[in-house]
Amino acid sequence: MNDSPSPPRLLVFDMDDVMLRYDVDARRAAMARMAGLSIADVEQLIWTSGIEDASDIGELSPEAYVAAIGAALGVPFGREDWLRTRALAMTLDMEMVNLVADLSKRVPIALLTNNGFIMREHFDVLVPGLREVFGPAMHVAAEFGGKKPAPAIYKGVAALYGVAPEEAVMIDDKIANVEGALAAGLRAHCFTGIDELRRFLRDLPI
């Protein structure tokens, strides 16, 4: 009897804190300076209040999202401000980029991030290096009407690429998101660093 795992037909990678280093406090600090507020104030007004979540699950269009941020901060806030403050928080991990580029030669890949439609519209500006690797296979959770760790999100991505959930693998840095992927029937790995990821991948027949 052969108990070895079947080869995956799709590898799905999270973006923030997997493909790049995401410094959310740098982003919040830049927004705080615009409004004369503290980082804690910005966290409360934008994140705790639910504005960020509403964008992530697709309830807010890009225009409504930046308008809501501006209203919460009490200052003008447009797409350019969102781009500038988001870019401050993002630093590509080139070692990961190179690893995924190599994997893409052997198995289809996709990116899935808990972000709203505004991120989908600006991938090419914010992370052109990821676009070079993933091509059109870059997705925000909002496209699927929710956000990780909802199992339906992972099933939606697998279906989009014509694979069964058990034929897909999710790589994510948050244990809750990994558990959501497992609940959806995917295989999954909780990312803590590239060395651990390489060990996980060695056990997959890619």
pLDDT value at 1 more than 50: no
Name the residue with tokens 């990678």.
13
Which tokens sit at 107?
Answer: 């198995």
How far lies 56's CA from each of 22, 50, 81, 83, 175, in Å? 16, 10, 18, 16, 19
pLDDT of res. 4: 66
24-87 topology per CATH = DNA polymerase; domain 1 (1.10.150)
pLDDT of res. 85: 98
Domain 10-22+92-202 matching CATH 3.30.930.10: the answer reads: no
- The more confident residue out of 172 and 5 is 172
How far is the C-alpha of 52 from the C-alpha of 56, rounded, in Å? Answer: 6
Mean pLDDT of the chain: 96
pLDDT of res. 206: 84
pLDDT band for position 126 (50/70/90)? very high
pLDDT value at 191 more than 70: yes
State whether the Cα torsion 147-136-131-120 is positive or negative.
negative
pLDDT of res. 5: 75
Do strands 138-140 and 109-113 pair parallel, antiparallel, or not at all (unpaired)?
parallel
How far lies 108's CA from each of 51, 121, 167, 203, in Å? 33, 22, 11, 17
The residues spanned by each domain of the chain are 10-22+92-202, 24-87
State pLDDT tens for residues 25-79. 999 999 999 999 999 999 999 999 999 999 999 999 999 999 999 999 999 999 9
Residue 60's CB: how many other CB atoms inside 10 A?
22
H/E run at residue 82: helix 79-87
* Contact indicator for 186, 25 with CB cutoff of 8 Å: no
Q: What percent of the chain has pLDDT over 90?
A: 95
pLDDT of res. 3: 61
How far is the C-alpha of 98 from the C-alpha of 176, rounded, in Å? Answer: 26
Q: What is the mean pLDDT of residues 163-170?
A: 97
Using DSSP, state whether 119 is helix, strand or coil.
Answer: helix
